[in-house]
Structure 1
C-alpha cells in the first residue's frame, strides 16, 4: 500500500527503471534496448542497400546473391498483393456496414429505456384488465378467450400511440 496525502491506495505494478536511484539498472536496460533495435535495423539497412545497389546501381551493394534479390522481389510482390486484399476487404466491409447501419437507423427508432419501461407498464395494465392477474394467467391450465377479449389487429400499436401522445402532453 502507498500512502498519498493521508489516503491509502493500492499500487498494482512497480518499475525500478523509472524509480529514483537504480542507475546500474537504467544503464543496463538502455544498452540492451539499443542493442535490440540495432539487431532490427542493421539487417534491414544491409538488405535495402544491397537491393538498391544491385537493382539500380546507386550504391555499392554489400552482397549480390541473385537468389536474395529474387526473394526480396517475391516478398515485395506478396506483400503488395496482401496489402491490396486487405484494402479491398476493409473498404468493402466499411461500405457494407455503413449501408446496413443506414437501413437499420431508418427502420428502427433508437432504443429509449424510459419509454420501453412505460410501454411495459402500460401493456401489463392492459393485459391485467383484459385477461386477469399475472398469477391467474400463469397458473390457469385451460383458458377460453371470450369473443370480446380478442385483440384487434392494431390494438397494441394504438395503445402505445395513445400512451406516447399522453406522455407528450
Structure 2
C-alpha cells in the first residue's frame, strides 16, 4: 500500500467516524433489546388504550350501537370543552404562523433583497480618499495613533459637510474615469 492511499483511507475513516452509539442496534445485548422492546410496547399500550376508551365512549354518547364503557355527562362535557380549547389553540397557532410568514416575507422583500445597500468597491475607494485627506490635514496615520495629545489648529477644523463633499467629489471623479 502506498503512502498516498494510506493517507486517503485515514481521511475517509475520519469522515465516516460515528459520533454516537446505541447498544440496542449492536450485535448481542439480547437482554437490553428484550427489556427496551417490552418497555416500548408497554408505553404504547399506555397511550393507545386511554385514547381508544375515550374515543369510543364519546362516540357511544351519540350512537347507541357502540358499547358504553362509561357514559358520564361530565366526561362528555369535558371532552367537548377540551376539544374547544384545542381548536382555539390550533387557530391561534395558525394565525401566528401565517402572520409571522407574511411579516418575514415583507421584511425579506424590503431588506434582504436590497442588500448590499452600498457598493463595497466604492466604499473602499472612499476609505482610501478619506485616509489621504486625514493624512494631509492631521498627519500620517502612525503619528495620529501614537501622539499623546494634539491640539487642532482653527484652520484644521472640519466644516459641517466637508466629508460628505469629499465623498461626492470622489464619486464624481470616479464617474469621469
The answer on 1:133 being equivalent to 2:140 is yes
From 8, 24, 32, give the equivalent of 2:31: 24
TM-score normalised to structure 1 length? 0.72
Matches within 5 A, 1:9-158: 12-57=19-64, 59-105=66-112, 108-109=115-116, 120-121=127-128, 123-138=130-145, 139=147, 140-144=149-153, 146=155, 150=159, 151=162, 153-158=164-169
- The answer to whether the Cα contact below 8 Å between 2:138 and 2:156 also exists between their aligned partners in 1 is no
TM-score normalised to structure 2 length? 0.69
1:50 match: secondary structure: helix
- Distance of 2:120 and 2:42 partners within structure 1: 57
Q: Higher relative CO (CA 8 A, sep ≥ 6), structure 1 or 2?
A: 2
* Bigger mean CA deviation after superposition, 112-121 or 24-33: 112-121
Structure number with higher helix proportion:
2
Aligned residues: 162
- Distance of 2:125 and 2:62 partners within structure 1: 74
Structure 1 unaligned segments of length 5 or more: list them: none
1:76 match: secondary structure: helix
